Amino acid sequence: MRRTCLISLLFIGQFIAPSLGAQDTAMHTATTSPEIPVPANVNTTSWMKDSAAKLQHELTGKYGEGQMPRLTRGLRQVEEFWRPEDGGAGEFEDFVRTNFAGDQATLDTMFNRFERLLEQLDGHMHEISREFRQQMDLDLGPVLPFDEVFGGYDPSAHVLDDFFRNKLAFTILLNFPLTTLDERLKDGPAWSRRQWAEVRLAQRFSKRLPAEVSLAIAQAEAESGQYIAEYNIWMYHLLDAQGQRLFPPNMRLLSHWNLRDEIKSEYADARNGLAKQRMIQLVLERIVTQTIPQAVINNPGVDWNPYSNEVKPAAAKDSDAAVPVSGLTNAREPDTRYAMLRKTFVASREADAYSPTEPTLIARRFDEDREIPEARVKAMLEQVVTSPLVAQTAKLIQARLGRPLEPFDIWYNGFRPGSSYSEAQLDGLVEKRYPTAAAYQEDIPNLLARLGFSPERARYLANHIAVDPARGAGHAMAAQMRAEKAHLRTRIDKNGMDYKGFNIAVHEMGHNVEEVFSLNEVDHTLLQGVPNTAFTEALAFVFQGHDLELLGLPAPDARSEAEKTLNDFWGTYEIAGVALLDMAVWHWMYDHPQATAHELNQATVEIAKDIWNRYYAPVFHQKDIVLLAVYSHMISSFLYLPDYPIGHLIAFQIEEQMKKAGAIGPEFERIAKMGRVTPDLWMESATGHPVGAEALLDATGQALAELNAPR
Ligand SMILES: [Zn+2]
């Protein structure tokens, strides 16, 4: 799995998929609807019931009554996925007779062999992908058109289909248990490691999507993604009430990321910053409510006053990309944003009938991907947004800004750790030390020793990590089998590595160390990894937070730490509301499956206002603000947004545990080799507590005390 980490945009990437090449992108509780296709197994049940009863009698006689519960479960699981093209009664009965492991020795052999062979499959598939992406990922000269085709090819795309076709998937379903999240949470703590590995083995085959359903999901994802990727605002063409252009020529900002980040950077402009921030807020609101004129989207050929909503042909030219609009009007964007969101919903819902243990997208997202029940996630997020620490932090921000808060201050970015070194000083230090990727590779044992790993462990880790020169900013790539190394891709310029590159390399090295332990030191490769992306990010941040010490410089002081904590807390407060909105909108869609794009627009706006009025208006003293609904992920990412705030909470829990433990090395190894059990079980073993908001809130309380203390 390739992991790119943007420091400002945490926890992007995908959850570690529990299934082989699963196509299903995302998902909640079943709501009946005329658009849901009939599951394939309905056609086969007429003979299947009789066959199953016959087999149950026959095989219990053969293997003993003790095998009855396993057999009953196995037959039910096979029935759920069997389709007419898999065969008739004769083939079904032969398959079960041949493949039911009726004694422990056969079952053990089957388990061990599948574990070994699936590791080989995953490992080699990944090896092919890594090689095929090499030219695109590494700094190795020009990328030719065919390199991109190699890079986009996924050799494992059809493995799941193949395994159902050759019936290896049915062998698993006949012998190992499918589980619900409820069972994993309730019974999981008492399971042996082998039982956990069996559960993960079966989960790989818990869904069987027909090709047309996978295709519909992929198409909705591509179409909405394309819509988002081309949604630019040309800033030079925004006019204020006096007809003035506040932004420079050629500034093209992608919604929502660039527009939000422009609000952040305008805090530095003492003269015009506030006017620009207010104008961007208005643009964002018009995108959400779809009162934005269609003609101004991605078009430098039109001047637009977002206050009056007037449009006219551009009076000044800054780009050849201008598209002439005949009969120019300010006709609004016709709910396209919500039509795109609705498409992702309609496509996702088609998968519901083929996913018996998680029959909605909401259930698949929370129960399958995150493995934290939605109700608990909601409670944790509400704990953050209703915390009294929000008002205290807001007061500090207000004092620093010297004015009352405005709604766009949810993106306040003034909490910054002070540094006694300039970026240039740090660049000089790093360049000298790491002129090449090989120089960094050679220094890994030394860096790890500084983080508290024993010389033996540091050498062992260094031997399992290969450093390559990256084309982009850098990323970590885990191995999928024990014979392979993890890869650390890092940016090396002509003069060598710069400080930013070093900071990222240390973060990626944290991923690599987690990856090496969680693959090579875990007791079952079926449990390889961590519960989800948030966990590996949290572990990578532990490394990254010590980057100055790795350069032999003093660690950040208490005030710097406090600034960083408040920055994270304010960011979590903001993104928690966005996540609550994403969740509520998906529920609304499942409750109103026939709603039009326009109705979805109105509902989203109402839900956004409601969440704002409950958790933000008390601090910002303005009501009915819709800004929380501007995130592009909401339109094209299938209920992904809750990952961000959950990630922040997990990061604080792990950081606190590392502080308690003192030396990072041994503690990092202990927790990284627990493998992919549920997040709560993992966190209980790591810290003694389930996943929760307390660590973040405690740290925030201390940070406020530190910053409010007289200097
Ligand atoms: Zn990362």
What are the tens digits of pLDDT across the range 453-495?
Answer: 999 999 999 999 999 999 888 899 999 999 999 999 998 988 8
Residue 15 banded pLDDT, cuts 50, 70, 90 = very low
Q: For position 235, what pLDDT does the model report?
A: 97
Structure tokens at 558: 């208490």
- Distance between CA atoms of 505 and 516, rounded to whole angstroms? 16
Alpha-carbon dihedral of residues 94, 100, 102, 107, nearest 10 degrees?
150
Query: What's the pLDDT tens digit per position in 498-520?
Result: 999 999 999 999 999 999 999 99
> What is the whole-number distance in angstroms between the Cα of residue 248 and the centre of ligand 1?
33
Give me ligand 1 centre to Cα 646, in Å: 15
Cα 195 to ligand 1 centroid, rounded to whole Å = 30
Instruction: Specify the pLDDT at position 22.
Output: 32
The beta strands (E) that lie in 470-550 are given as 474-477, 486-490
Give the pLDDT of residue 220.
Answer: 95
> Distance, CA 146 to ligand 1 centroid (Å)?
29
Give the ranges where 616-678 is alpha helix by DSSP (H).
Answer: 617-620, 633-636, 643-661, 664-672
Whole-Å CA distances, 138 to 12, 204, 469, 504, 512: 20, 31, 6, 16, 17
How much distance in Å is there from the Cα of 387 to the middle of ligand 1? 28
For residue 492, report the distance from its CA to the centre of ligand 1, in Å: 18
CA 152-154-156 angle, to 5 degrees, is 175
Q: Classify residue 639 by burial, with Cβ atoms within 10 Å: 0-12, 13-18, 19+.
A: buried
Torsion of CA 171, 174, 175, 176, to 10 degrees: 100
pTM of the model: 0.88
> Which distant-in-sequence residues (6+ apart) come within 8 Å of 462 by Cβ?
441, 444, 445, 448
Q: Ligand 1 centre and the CA of 502: distance in Å?
A: 14
Q: How far is the CA of 688 from the centre of ligand 1 (A)?
A: 25
3-state secondary structure of 468: strand
Distance 437 CA to ligand 1 centre (A): 19
Distance 607 CA to ligand 1 centre (A): 32
CA of 3 to the centre of ligand 1 (A): 6
Q: What is the DSSP letter of 293?
A: B
- What spacing in Å lies between the alpha carbon of 9 and ligand 1's midpoint? 10
Residue 514 burial by Cβ neighbours in a 10 Å radius (0-12, 13-18, 19+) = buried
Measured in Å, residue 323 CA sits from the centre of ligand 1 at: 39
DSSP state of 217: H
Residues in Cβ contact with 76 at an 8 Å cutoff, skipping those fewer than 6 apart: 52
The Å distance, Cα 547 to ligand 1 centre, comes to 14
Q: Is the pLDDT of residue 384 over 70?
A: yes
Residue 24 confidence (pLDDT): 34
Contact assessment for residue 314 and residue 302, using Cβ atoms and an 8 Å cutoff: yes
- In angstroms, what is the span from residue 599 Cα to ligand 1's centroid? 38
In this predicted structure, what is the pLDDT of residue 103?
A: 96
Q: How confident is the model at residue 2 (pLDDT cuts 50, 70, 90)?
A: low
Taking residues 120-130, what's their average pLDDT?
97
pLDDT at 26: 31
Residue 648 Cα to ligand 1 middle (Å): 13
Are 42 and 568 in contact, with CB atoms under 8 Å apart?
A: no
Q: Separation of 423 CA from ligand 1 center, angstroms?
A: 22
Expressed in angstroms and rounded, the spacing between residue 635 Cα and the centre of ligand 1 is: 24
* Token representation of residue 197: 């590995």
pLDDT at res. 420: 81
* pLDDT tens-place string over residues 31-85: 333 333 445 454 457 899 999 999 999 999 999 999 999 999 999 999 999 999 9
Distance 1 CA to ligand 1 centre (A): 12
Å from CA of 506 to ligand 1 middle? 10
Q: What is the DSSP letter of 402?
A: T
Query: Nearest-CA neighbor of 281 among 642, 635, 628, 641?
Result: 628
Query: How many angstroms is it from 540 CA to the middle of ligand 1?
Result: 6
Q: Which residues of 647-670 are buried (b: 16+ CB within 10 A; e: fewer)?
A: bbbbbbbbbbbbeebeebbebbbe
- What is residue 305's three-state secondary structure? strand
Backbone φ, ψ for residue 138 (5° rounding):
-105, 160
Q: How far, in Å, is the centroid of ligand 1 from the Cα of 213?
A: 32
pLDDT tens digit sequence for 650-674: 999 999 999 999 889 999 999 999 9
Distance from the alpha carbon of residue 508 to the mean position of ligand 1, in angstroms: 6
| CA of 4 relative to ligand 1 center, distance in Å | 6
Hey, is 526 helix, strand or coil? helix
Q: Is the peptide bond before 256 cis (omega within 30 degrees of 0)?
A: yes
Question: What is the distance in A from the centroid of ligand 1 to the CA of 175?
Answer: 37
Element (H, E) at 700: helix 694-708
- Judged by DSSP in three states, 233 sits in strand
- Give the pLDDT mean for 195-221: 94
| Residue tagged 């041994």 (tokens) | 666
Please tell me which residue, 473 or 448, carries the higher pLDDT value: 448
| C-alpha of residue 105 to centroid of ligand 1, in Å | 42
Q: How far apart are the CA of 491 and the centre of ligand 1, in A? A: 15
Calculate how far, in angstroms, residue 411's C-alpha sits from the geometric centre of ligand 1.
22
Tell me how far CA of residue 238 lies from CA of 112, 318, 350, 415, in angstroms. 64, 13, 42, 30
Q: Ligand 1: distance of its center to the CA of 297 in Å?
A: 33
Question: How many angstroms separate the alpha carbon of residue 304 from the centre of ligand 1?
Answer: 39
Q: Please tell me the distance between residue 278's alpha carbon and the centre of ligand 1 in angstroms.
A: 33
Distance 652 CA to ligand 1 centre (A): 15
The alpha carbon of 489 and the centre of ligand 1 are apart by a number of angstroms equal to: 12
- 444 CA distance to ligand 1 middle (Å): 18
pLDDT digits (tens, 9 = 90+) for 255-301: 999 999 999 999 999 999 999 999 999 999 999 999 999 999 999 99
In angstroms, what is the span from residue 487 Cα to ligand 1's centroid? 13
In the chain, % of residues over pLDDT 90 = 85
The reported pLDDT for the residue numbered 533 is: 87
